[in-house]
Amino acid sequence: MSISHVTTHILDTAAGKPAAGVAVELYARDGEAWSQIGTGTTDADGRVKDLGPERLESGSYRLQFATGAYFAGIGQETFFPEVSLTFTVNENESHYHVPLLLSPFAFSTYRGS
């Protein structure tokens, strides 16, 4: 298995554990539109390592997380049916890790390593 240029990790901070089974989509900005370039689902550790291409060109990208379906699956109400994170990639950087810290009524992110 190869590791994509962008990876992610979701921690359910309310439950204190990784968020497994969350669908994640990776999009690239194409002018004014967005084109899907990868998909994945978080594993038992809340990670997606094979989300898209091994190398990306410099530009704007978006991660879309299906958080509503995740919370519905664990019987938890949520305010956020989805979370969308837009960020910039520099093709000269070797890797981007974009974690999501998630609870039913809040989320946070940062550039990981």
**Tens digit of each residue's pLDDT (9 = 90 or more) over 56-66:** 999 999 999 99
111 is in an annotated binding site: no
Residue type, position 49, single letter? K
- The percentage of the chain sitting over the pLDDT mark of 70, rounded to a whole number, equals 99
Other beta carbons less than 10 A from residue 102's beta carbon: 26
Half-sphere exposure of 68 (CA within 13 A, CB side): 7
- Was 97 annotated as part of a binding site? no
Q: Consult the annotation and say whether 29 binds a ligand.
A: no
Query: φ, ψ for residue 72 (rounded to 5)?
Result: -60, -40
pTM of the model: 0.94
pLDDT of residue 109: 96
Q: Is the pLDDT of residue 2 over 80?
A: no
Task: Give 6-109's CATH code, choosing from 1.10.390.10, 2.60.40.180, 3.30.1490.20, 3.40.50.300.
Answer: 2.60.40.180
Closest CA to 13 of 100, 77, 113, 73: 100
